[in-house]
Structure 1
Amino acid sequence: MSGADAVLDVAAIVAAVLGGLFFTAGTLGLLRFPDLRSRLHAVTKADTLGLGFVMLALSLRADS
């Protein structure tokens, strides 16, 4: 394993963990906020950012 592969592995792991944290935050907002509009706002903002981080992690580890 070269140094560049190790850096990509670490960056992919960090991005995947951040994505999971944002998904968790969105889920907590969905469960805890009082009204429908607040719940939808929490889910759309946090989950979109979480999806971006997960896609970044996957693209860093893709072969082509």
Structure 2
Amino acid sequence: SAVRRFLDARPGVFDGFDLDWEYPVEGGLAGNARRPEDRENFTRLLAEFRRQLDARAAAAPSGEPYLLT
């Protein structure tokens, strides 16, 4: 919700965002935490983004879909 408030306060400034999961299985810094539920939680995060993007597209005058790639 904090990210949504941030973006809503700056209409027209952002045309996209990047979610970058660098090391989903192994690698990265030694201190990086890995949990068994990471994959499921990341999938849920993307599903929530998709839901919110679809709602915004439906409310937009152009009705153009937002891409999540």
For the aligned pair, the TM-score class normalised by the smaller chain equals 0.3 to 0.5
- After TM superposition, the score normalised by the length of structure 1 is 0.45
Q: Comparing both structures, which one devotes a greater share of its residues to helix?
A: 1
- After TM superposition, the score normalised by the length of structure 2 is 0.42
